[in-house]
Amino acid sequence: MDISFLRQVALFAGLQDDQLQALAKVTLTRTFPKEGIIILADEEGDALFLIARGQVKVSLVSEDGREVILSLLGPGAVFGELSLLDGKPRSANVVATEETELVMLRRSDFLQLLHRVPQIAISLLAELAARLRKTDRKIEGLALLDVTSRISETLLQLASEQGSDTAQGVTLRSRPTHQQLANMSGTTRETVSRVLKRLETQGYISCKGRTITILREEHWKDPPARPRP
């Protein structure tokens, strides 16, 4: 595969071109259709995945069928590395939310790479630390925040990860569905619809189809009402 993609992945930022070339030779590329299952929780894992194109949903499902979405990951993101490090089963389900192209790296090749290039271990630790902080914020939000605050926090997190700056604010070109936002915020689809409409009426966001813009303060309606649960 073309090393230009690997060069853009933060995990491999410390590799030289010859190392990237060697890495590219041991990777595999696979395309999954929308709703295609990539990983199932508790199954054995022997590969790390890089998203070249598309988007995946990382989630857990309770015994009664309720889903909690942990992350929505896009191009350049890495997942599946925990099982490579500890040899234990997968910790969550991963499903493609649209047609997705993945670059796969086998466990044996990844571990050899870690020994040859210690910088990757440092990058990996930074990635895991960021995910732990994100998980801590989600747990704190579910325990302490009201539903409007949880949905707002979810939108802000998505904006920081996937949004693009515009004159009016930060825009998500293809936001998650209302059901996905509900599963990320610990609430219901109906509540998400109601809260988004309220936030738009109050002037905090602007919605056009699947595009949502979190408005800059100077574009808020004057005076903005404080969201209520």
- Across the chain, which has 229 residues, the per-10-residue mean pLDDT values are 84 82 90 96 90 94 87 91 82 95 91 82 82 79 84 89 89 89 93 94 89 84 51
Condensed to tens digits (0 to 9), the pLDDT of residues 20-31 reads 888 888 899 999
Q: Do you find a cis peptide bond into 118, omega within 30 degrees of 0?
A: no
Domains of the chain are 3-141 (2.60.120.10), 146-219 (1.10.10.10)
Per-residue model confidence (pLDDT) at position 171: 93
pTM of the model: 0.76
206 contacts 200 by C-beta, under 8 angstroms: yes
| Residue 220 half-sphere exposure toward CB, CA atoms < 13 A | 12
Q: How far is CA 69 from CA 93, 94, 154, 180, 217, in A?
A: 9, 10, 11, 7, 29
